[in-house]
Structure 1
Amino acid sequence: MTDIFSPEKRSWIMSRIRGTNTRIDLQMNEILKGLGFPFEMYPKMYGNPDFVLEEERIVIFCDGDFWHGYNYNNKKKPRQKFWKDKIKRNMKRDAKITRKLRKDGWSVLRFWEHDIKKRTGVCIDRIIGKVLEK
């Protein structure tokens, strides 16, 4: 199936999708502020995590359900090959980044969009648990 938008219109639409200061990033920012741990948002480091707790060597990623392939194998997939391939590449890249960071001594926490929005307590418990583990 061909795209219903012109390349220019599709480019404009895609340019509106933010990579930083998303709703889930801002919600995680509030969670971390509430916990009182020192953290940095959008640190310049391998893998571009959303947050880092430098002292504890913990990185946090806030992954959008669609773009990062939540439950991808059991969900209805996009019809266009381009989007299927994009999501699969994102999932592969996420796994590679996680492996490398862990190999380099970082603890990696990845939170799904729906968990940040609806299961905040579970996210808080995972963060506290990881900090106490250190």
Structure 2
Amino acid sequence: MSAPRPAKALNEGVRKSMRANRGRDTGPELAVRRLVHAAGLRYRVSARPLPDLRRTADLVFTRRRIAVFVDGCFWHGCPEHHTRARTNADYWAEKVRANRERDADTDRRLARAGWTVLRIWEHEGADAAAQRIVAAVRGAGDTPGG
């Protein structure tokens, strides 16, 4: 079974909207990164936790083996905020289902390799998300930092 083909934009407005969706450095991701950095932690950005797994985490604390993903509510099927697309609904439903399946597979693979995975929804407050990350990183070892 082959992967679904990308949807073709119906008009220029939809095309611009689709092109504006960023794979990294999103607003929620930047807000969380700023707060985590201000807390004194250092991390890798948009890096592969496992070199042989072609998936990147938004923040990676390599020595602590913690991978943080800041997931968009639409793209990752947030149980609170995900909305069904009106245009190409079947395509987007399949896309989100595949994303959720890949997220779960990523979590399992990282856990098997001894990593802690933190998933942050874009709707979560940046302060609360940063506090969760800082607590996980500082609780994962004897020395502060990352």
TM-score for the superposition, normalised by structure 1? 0.81
Per the alignment, residue 118 of structure 2 pairs with: 109
Matches within 5 A, 1:49-88: 49-71=57-79, 76-79=83-86, 80-88=89-97
Aligned CA-pair RMSD? 2.4
* 1:5 corresponds to 2:10: yes
Calculate percent identity across the aligned residue pairs. Answer: 30
For residue 10 of structure 1, report the CA deviation from its aligned partner: 5.7
4+ residue runs over 6 A deviation: none
**Structure 2 contact 9–15 (Cα < 8 Å) conserved:** no
Instruction: Give the direction of change, closer, same or farther, for the CA distance of 1:13–1:58 in structure 2 (3 Å limit).
Output: same
Instruction: Give the direction of change, closer, same or farther, for the CA distance of 1:10–1:37 in structure 2 (3 Å limit).
Output: same
Cα distance between partner residues in 1 of 2:46 and 2:113? 19
Answer 1 or 2: which has greater helix percent.
1
User: Secondary structure of 2:60's match?
Assistant: strand
**Structure 2 contact 32–127 (Cα < 8 Å) conserved:** no
Cα distance between partner residues in 1 of 2:127 and 2:15? 37
Unaligned runs of 5+ in 2: 1-7, 141-146
- The counterpart of 1:132, out of the listed 123, 129, 138, is 138
For residue 42 of structure 1, report the CA deviation from its aligned partner: 1.0
* 1:98 corresponds to 2:107: yes
Cα distance between partner residues in 2 of 1:125 and 1:32? 8
Cα distance between partner residues in 2 of 1:56 and 1:93? 23
Q: How many residues align?
A: 127
Q: AA paired with 1:26?
A: L
For residue 16 of structure 1, report the CA deviation from its aligned partner: 2.6
* 1:29 corresponds to 2:29: no
Matches within 5 A, 1:38-49: 38-45=42-49, 46=53, 47-49=55-57
Unaligned runs of 5+ in 1: none
